[in-house]
Structure 1
């Protein structure tokens, strides 16, 4: 039996040290103190007589548990809020108040299966399926244009329905675009300054995904796809002039599209005067602000919101954050916003400590996706930005959004589980101090005696 170190270990180790220096605010104390370092290999590949290689994982990092606990809490709280937002309305229209809740629970179970599969299979094995999955996701985006298959919901022709089964293809496209760009930028990491490897592929993916979503009337998906694509490119190291050029062209195209339609222009600018447009264009935003104000500090309690009794449209989907603020109050709202902040923060930490470039881009793209989508949804509910009809990840009633978000969380956990960890600076400084004291007194300390 022989032990072989990965061929890219030296490059990964150098990048890890640079990332740790950025996180800790400079070189580690252990390096400044000149204390000897112990070799602690955190990732090995053990070769046996069989042709297959078995991955040996090191200690589980703390970011893995933080992400997992936050996602689990969000999914369970989301199911409770969906039941609270829909039960009263469904009592008057059907025999049971649990229709939407049971459907959301079914999608949560499907998402849990996808999360476990995405977590258990090493993420680098998914690279072989990136291009086929991207092609499938692009093909699914064409289905809403097929007569009899595409369904218009909330003025957006972005849904597909086969009988009683329906889904939204743009949710799959978000994850497929992140994985495709991560794979492409990894394969051409040294040639991203060339337009054929950096600017052109990024422009095709960004404008293609956002353009199709905009043609379907799904402005929220177009915004998220654009932001996520540019975020992955920024992390990968695409030159700023290329990212700036794509951003400028995209902003100009979006402005022309908005100005060409008076209805679309008035709809997007209504948030600037919500009270003046509360009777028509900003009715939903006004009701959302009333729900947030009714919550106070501690909220009205689970099930205590009155705005969901027909006053607030789409209380269970696009505006579920207003119900959260009403029933959980300011404290609950801050907790939900802070939870998304934790996912983004620890997702960035997982990207910085990823063992390879593909894992870094995949984790960074997923963290950016969840963060941007939460900002757009909560900002629209709070009246800070225009309402785009975007769901709140893990909370809004929408099976496709919930299940795909859980799969993305599984991939994020996959990268976090394989993160390369390092000793804490304080512990390293203590070890260095004990070693220095032992050299002065000549007495072996507990740490040096073990060595």
Structure 2
């Protein structure tokens, strides 16, 4: 049977499960990318007005990012995912190196160093770290799958890898991405079959550490105050959350129409990136927002289903890690926009403006589709 052949049922007819799931995932990913193009055009139109010489400069940059993202997706979709097992160590080493470099020479914005300038381009190493962690952890757990009951052979090396990545990202500082990395790691250890007692200890450590880290820095304490009472803090730390809620309320059920929203005109900072969901809710309304969340749910749930049906443990862990990443990042982003979680500054997968995030997310989506195509 060739790599692209569908597995057969006992009756000899092709099994439709993988093909249907593959088609659903592929359609959802490309619909999200296309919708993101429209949303970024609307969200950056207000910023473009201030740049009379190049009013579409931000939208043009996003189009380039989408083009590169699609090309990368097609590459990771076309190369057998099992080849990534050999790339796990070099990818992890490159990711750690970039995380160290960004702390030394990265561009400082808003008190954080998160980007490395390379000519006209900016690279965000923490985005690469997410994919590197998933590949490295999947390869490690697959190599030691017969020793999953031995914490000294599984838990300690895995925690060392996870702690190294999380610590370097936290030093930037970027607590939101740190918690997403920790969530990915815990989720993959669960899928691999780590004993419940050991998994419970790790989860408890993350739950306890998160509020302590959030309270440790003054700017994070201010964000917590704005999250807990955005109305009272609407003139300071709660401004962004308060204005995002106003924008969502203005959208109502059907929205104001694409391009007709007011939030992007300076009322909501970072509207094209961290707060793109405000543009969705205001201009497309509750129905449009639910539709996009459904597409993101298709990717997340389809990825978890692929993890159950993958032909080997490496593919199962890859699919699970990518699905957990997309689901967690969506929950953190949307939760911050609607006031259910503190604002963290992470992007919304496939939709937000941002080259590094979009390209790495597309690479991960291609890997997920690759595993899905080969699953029975």
- TM bucket (normalised to shorter chain) is over 0.9
Matched, 1:160 2:133: no
Give SS of 1:190's match: helix
Matched, 1:198 2:154: yes
Alignment match of 2:342 (pick from 381, 386, 393)? 386
Report the equivalent of 1:25.
none
1:261 Cα deviation after fit: 3.1
Alignment match of 1:129 (pick from 72, 77, 87)? 87
Do 1:381 and 1:387's aligned partners in 2 also have CA atoms closer than 8 Å? yes
Runs (4+) off by over 6 Å: none
Alignment match of 1:104 (pick from 62, 65, 68)? 62
TM-score by length of 1: 0.79
RMSD: 2.0
Report the equivalent of 1:143.
101
Separation (CA, whole Å) in 2 of partners of 1:60 and 1:256: 43
Give SS of 2:235's match: coil
Separation (CA, whole Å) in 1 of partners of 2:335 and 2:209: 23
Report the equivalent of 1:432.
none
Q: Deviation string for 1:376-395 (max 9, x for gaps)?
A: 00000000000000000111
Structure with the bigger percentage of helix: 2
Q: 1:350 to 1:326 in 2, by over 3 A?
A: same
1:42 Cα deviation after fit: 7.6
Structure 2, unaligned runs of 5 or more: none
Alignment match of 2:373 (pick from 392, 395, 417)? 417
Matched, 1:78 2:50: no
Separation (CA, whole Å) in 2 of partners of 1:60 and 1:350: 8
TM-score by length of 2: 0.94
Do 1:151 and 1:161's aligned partners in 2 also have CA atoms closer than 8 Å? yes
Report the equivalent of 1:336.
292
Report the equivalent of 2:74.
116
Structure 1, unaligned runs of 5 or more: 5-12, 14-36, 44-57, 421-451
Q: Deviation string for 1:182-237 (max 9, x for gaps)?
A: 11111111211212322112211222222111111111110110001111111010
Separation (CA, whole Å) in 2 of partners of 1:203 and 1:41: 45
Matched, 1:188 2:160: no
Separation (CA, whole Å) in 2 of partners of 1:244 and 1:354: 26
More displaced, 277-286 or 203-212?
Answer: 203-212
Separation (CA, whole Å) in 2 of partners of 1:150 and 1:242: 37
Report the equivalent of 1:232.
188
Do 1:61 and 1:419's aligned partners in 2 also have CA atoms closer than 8 Å? no
Separation (CA, whole Å) in 2 of partners of 1:60 and 1:244: 33
Alignment match of 1:216 (pick from 164, 172, 175)? 172
1:39 Cα deviation after fit: 6.8
Rg: which structure is higher? 1
